[in-house]
Structure formats: C-alpha cells, structure tokens
Amino acid sequence: MASIYPGRIHSVQGLRVVFTGKAWAPRKELHRTVVAMGGLPRNHVSLESEELEILVRGDSARWLMSDFGIKESDIATRLASGLPSAIVSSDEFERLVSEQQAARTRQVVAGLPIDWMVPTTRGRFRRAAAIAGPLDRYHSRAGRIEQSFLRQLHVKPGQKGLVRCALCNRRFPAELVVAAHIKPRSRCSLIERRDAEHVAFPLCLMGCDPLYERGWVSVDAQGVVSISSWMHSIQALETLARRLEDRSCPSHSPQTSKYFAWHHRHRFVQ
Ligand SMILES: [Zn+2]
C-alpha cells in the first residue's frame, strides 16, 4: 500500500488523531488516552496538515452520508490532495491502546475501495493491465489498481464534487461512477488494455454501467447513443431509455471510435 495510506498504524506519536462516531469510551477520555500515547487529539480533520492524520471510526446509526460522516469525507478530500491519512475502526484502535498491537486500517474510505482513492502510477497500471482475461474491479487487487488509474483519467469530479456520466449526462457523487471499459477488457489486446486514455469512459452505476455492459445500450459510429428496442417494453427502464436515446456521447472521438465500434458490432442487442 502506498505510504499515503498505510496498511497499519503502529503508533500515534506526534500525529493528529480525530474521532468520529461512538467509540468504547467517552470522547474526553479518548483524548486523554491519545495525549498519554504522545498523539495530538483534534476535533476536526485538517485539510492542510501534511503529517499523517488518523481518523478513528466508531459506530453511528446516523451518518450524514448514510455510511460515513463529514470527517470521513474530509479524509477522502485529503487523499485526493495527496495528503497522508488513515482510518482505523475503534476496535482496532482500542487494541493499539490496550495491547500495543498495530491497528489495521480500513480498506474502504467514503464508500470507495482505498485503491481507488489513492493515486496510482502508470507503471503499476501497466503491470495490472498486462494481466489477460477479465479482472474484477472491486475484488482483485490488480483490478482495483487498474480501476484507480482509469478513474484518475476519466472520473473527474466537477461542480460540488459531482461526476458526469458519459451516457445519461446526469451528475452523481464519485462513488456512483466507474471508469468502464468501452470495449470489454477481456476482449482487449495488451496494447488496447494499456491505452488508458481512450479505452475507458465514465459511467454511472444508476443504470448506464450495467446496461452498457449487457449491450442494451451502445454508441454508434456517429457517437450517438443507441438503445435496445426492448428496453422500451420494460416499464422500469423506459424513463432512462428515453433519456439516453439519440443523445450524443462526449467520450466518442477518433481515438475511441474503434472501441465503440467493437461494442456496437459485437455486444449491442438491437
Ligand atoms: Zn448514466
């Protein structure tokens, strides 16, 4: 794991420590414990500090963003700016405090796998892309590294941190958008898999990614979205179908057209 997000925390000596949610003891007592360990208890996550910042995550029945709160989203902002950070569960932190056992860091930050959050290098991407056949973007390590690099290029938060889907043109929080292969990864040559700038495009998980993957939606030679005629016959898909039909896809270009052409010819269900 890149040092921007260490896999384990061995000590909090000299480090800022912030608590969120409910931990095993009252907040004041936790802060005293951190001081006794040489750490610096703080009430908020700093968006500027260049030292490693640790967020200890307890329980909460009501996070602001359903599964995480504002402090965790600040950690995500830090990671996006390249500032070293770590999230540990309060159970892990308690073990560090009472048994001096290294605390393992959480592998999901603000709803996304940590490998997607931490910028990766083209070298690591090229090694991951060299693996033939399908790669699971959530579960295999190489898949997460590959997805991380493709996301850096294609999933770019704009206004209010939202990302625009290249098919439906709606804007979503980044955790609802993936960098999807235009031509299925498993059918790409090594050179195509490594063509990071052109082989992928941003798709929302709110319909477009699974529909494109199944070929119920495609993009034609003119860069116009085509939809499978039977989508109109399914009531639940009708609204999205109408939204998508005849829209022009901003990711279609002279460099990407061969990937779209493959999808349209081999995957599109008329
Ligand atoms: Zn979409």
Listing DSSP states for 162-218 in one string gives: EEE-TTT--EEEGGGEEEEESS-GGG--HHHHT-HHHHEEEEETTTHHHHHHTTSEE
223 CA → ligand 1 middle, Å = 16
Measured over the CA atoms of residue 263, residue 267, residue 269 and residue 270, the dihedral's sign is positive
Instruction: List pLDDT tens digits, range 142-179.
Output: 999 999 999 999 998 888 889 999 999 999 988 899 99
Distance 140 CA to ligand 1 centre (A): 25
pLDDT at 1: 42
Under 8 Å between Cβ of 165 and 129: no
Q: Rounded to whole angstroms, how far apart are CA atoms 81 and 216?
A: 37
∠ CA 221-226-231, rounded to 5°: 160
Distance (angstroms) between ligand 1 centre and the Cα of 265 equals 21
Between CA 206 and CA 26 the distance in angstroms is 40
CA distances from 66 to 60, 61, 89 (A): 10, 9, 17
Ligand 1 centroid, distance to 214 Cα (angstroms): 14
Domains annotated on the chain, with CATH: 8-111 (3.40.50.10190), 120-266 (no CATH)
Single pTM value for the model: 0.81
Give the pLDDT score at 133: 80
